[in-house]
Amino acid sequence: MSENKSKSPDQTVQLTPEAAGGTPKMAVVTPGPRAVKVQVPTAQPVQQEADAVIKTVASAGSEAAKETVVKKGDLLDHIVAVTGVKRADAKSVSEALLAALSDHLQKGTHLQLPPLGKLRLVNTKDVGKGALALTVKIRTPNPD
């Protein structure tokens, strides 16, 4: 039997007999799974913007000051510039990371974080109202 070229809207195909005198038969055709293309955006590093953010943060403070303070917003700007993710996503991840670091350091856990180095709690002091002053020693990795 050969397939008839006309398909009805209900996915039924009429088959015509090849031999003379045969009777036509009906067969239900169910479509199989279809291939679907999905594009997932990936974060692309944008180094030029990241360098600009670092220079802006460094120049925001006084040139004569010995200590440069980087606030959470500046850090978020840097993360967004480097990774290309949305600011809200960067904020939620960075806040969770900072909370985890704080918890582990307050417990006295040694942390080994390869880009940053090895962190070890040296001293803890109660400064009142539940706040602690932590002295942390950081050993940076070898620049290989």
In sequence order, what are the residues at sequence separation of 6 or more whose Cβ sits closer than 8 angstroms to the Cβ of residue 68? 57, 58, 61
Quick count: other Cβ atoms within 10 Å of Cβ 139?
A: 10
One digit per residue, the tens of pLDDT, for the chain of length 144 reads 445 455 545 555 555 555 556 666 666 656 666 666 656 566 665 555 556 656 655 555 445 455 788 899 999 999 999 988 999 999 999 999 999 998 998 898 999 998 889 999 999 999 999 888 999 999 998 877
What percent of the residues of the chain are helix, what percent strand, and what percent coil, each to the nearest 5?
35, 25, 40
116 alpha-carbon distance from chain centroid: 19
Contact 121, 136 (CB under 8 A): yes
Distance between CA 95 and CA 87 in Å, rounded?
Answer: 12
Burial label, 50 (beta-carbon count in 10 A; 0-12, 13-18, 19+): middle
